[in-house]
Amino acid sequence: MKELALNILDIAENSVKAEATLAKISIEQTDTQIILTFTDNGIGMTEEIRQTVTDPFYTTRTTRKVGMGLPLLKLEAEMTGGSMTVTSKHISEDPINHGTEVCAVFYKNHIDCIPLGDVVETVATLIQGHPDTDFLFTHKTEEKEITLDTRELREVLEGVPLNTYEVIKWIKEFLKEQYIN
């Protein structure tokens, strides 16, 4: 993909599809790396799926025979000398602590590393499309840490849906302000 932000959107959608009530998206930037971590409490993957998850011909969709989200993320990470790992516990293995974690490491000084892109837009799009899922977004750079927790928003909003125009607009402003200051 042209931007990592689009990968973030794609992978976070997997958490929603896995019926997660909370999807954590973390971006951590060091002087040499960008680390993307996705952690959810969805239904998780069975051993069989874990084995085939980076096979582009495997899919969770029934309408097409390939699912490209994780294979592309893996390829893009490896193209920079980095890597991607997937750990998951299926609901049948552990009825309480189930879910999936995807971690991708990019070396940002590698010439093939794609730019991060518009993260604010990605987060807003996710919340807009899935107002009933909770998202915890954190972006840690060497200078600062940007955070958005929809659980906190929900408490304040007292029943106002998160995909309300004003709420989405506020979320974008809230994130943008954190990036500027």
| Minimum gap (Å) between residue 72 Cβ and other proteins | 6
Distances (CA, A) of 162 to 19, 118, 122: 18, 20, 15
Residue 68 sits in the site that holds other proteins (CB under 8 A): yes
Distance CA 39, CA 2 (A): 23
Distance CA 137, CA 149 (A): 6
Show the beta-strand stretches assigned E in the chain: 22-29, 33-40, 83-89, 99-107, 134-140, 145-149
Residue 51 sits in the site that holds other proteins (CB under 8 A): no
Show the beta-strand stretches assigned E in 57-126: 83-89, 99-107
Choose the binding region for other proteins from 58-66, 92-100, 154-162, 164-172 (rule: CB under 8 A).
Answer: 58-66
Q: Considering only residues 6, 35, 49, 103, which one is a binding residue for other proteins as defined by CB under 8 A?
A: 6
> Taken in order 155, 158, 162, 166, is the CA torsion positive or negative?
negative
| Minimum gap (Å) between residue 67 Cβ and other proteins | 9
Choose the binding region for other proteins from 67-75, 92-100, 101-109, 171-179 (rule: CB under 8 A).
Answer: 67-75
By rule CB under 8 A, what string of x and - marks binding of each residue 11-50 to other proteins?
Answer: ----------------------------------------
Kindly state the tokens that stand for 40.
Answer: 């959810």
By rule CB under 8 A, what string of x and - marks binding of each residue 71-100 to other proteins?
Answer: xx--x-------------------------
Show the beta-strand stretches assigned E in 69-132: 83-89, 99-107
Letter for the amino acid at 32? T
Residue 65 sits in the site that holds other proteins (CB under 8 A): yes
| Minimum gap (Å) between residue 106 Cβ and other proteins | 16
| Residue (28 or 121) nearer to other proteins, CB | 121
- For other proteins, the binding residues (CB under 8 A) are 1-2, 6, 55-57, 64-66, 68, 71-72, 75
